[in-house]
Amino acid sequence: MKDNKKKELNPEQLQKKISELEIENNQKTLELEKMKEIASKSQSQYVSLKYDFDSYISRIEKEKATLQESIFIKSIKNVLPFVEELRKSLESVSDEIKDNSSIKWLNIMYEKFIKKLGEMWVFLFDSIGEEPNHDFHEPLGFEQTEEANKWKIVREYEKWFIYKKWDTQTVIKPAKVIVWN
């Protein structure tokens, strides 16, 4: 038969056991502090990394939007000469054939095209009577005039187009004009 009694420790053994437990407790406390420090550094690194990643994503999105806008504007620039040729052709139609159904149809198509450009934030502007602005107008020449119209645009060979969306404004094609001086 085995003795089920707990072995009692004498005071010296009890003191030794208490010292061992204190040492073990101190070690565990040190380990816990190290773990807390590692966790704190990890959290700080995570927050920093997340901020950097979010900034990167934001920058990429802006670059993507800028690139898409640039490609769009380049595409529109390739189409505008045809729009201008159509406009000039319609303006030069003689009065005798203006009522022709084909001319009317071309006029409707031109108007629809200009409207569709407006829906894509591309707008056509008239320059007659305005003061020349180097951002919007390309003077081709000058004509003598009366003092009242001095330095005003009197003729337009080509209209100007601008891409204007929210805060963005880009001249796609400046107007080619004649200025009175």
**Number of domain units in the chain:** 1
pLDDT(169) > 80: yes
pLDDT > 90: what percent of the chain?
47
Residue 125, domain extent: 121-181
Q: Which of 19-33, 80-94, 129-143 has the lowest mean pLDDT?
A: 129-143
Q: What are phi and psi of 78, to 5 degrees?
A: -70, -25
Rounded to a whole number, what is the distance in angstroms from the first to the last CA of the chain? 128
Instruction: Please provide the DSSP assignment of 105-161 as one string.
Output: HHHHHHHHHHHHHHHTTEEEE--TTSPP-TTTEEEEEEE---GGGTT-EEEEEE-EE
Mean pLDDT of all residues in 157-173: 86
HEC assignment per residue over 80-106: HHHHHHHHHHHHCCCHHHCCCHHHHHH
Give the pLDDT score at 98: 83
Specify if 174 maps to a domain.
Answer: yes
Specify if 112 maps to a domain.
Answer: no
Give the domain CATH number at 136.
2.30.22.10
Q: What is the pTM of this model?
A: 0.63
Unique residue bearing structure tokens 């629809």:
112
Specify if 166 maps to a domain.
Answer: yes
pLDDT(120) > 70: yes
Q: Are 176 and 158 in contact (CB under 8 A)?
A: yes
Q: Which pLDDT band holds residue 48 (cuts at 50, 70, 90)?
A: very high
Residues 150 and 147: their CA atoms lie apart, in Å, by 5
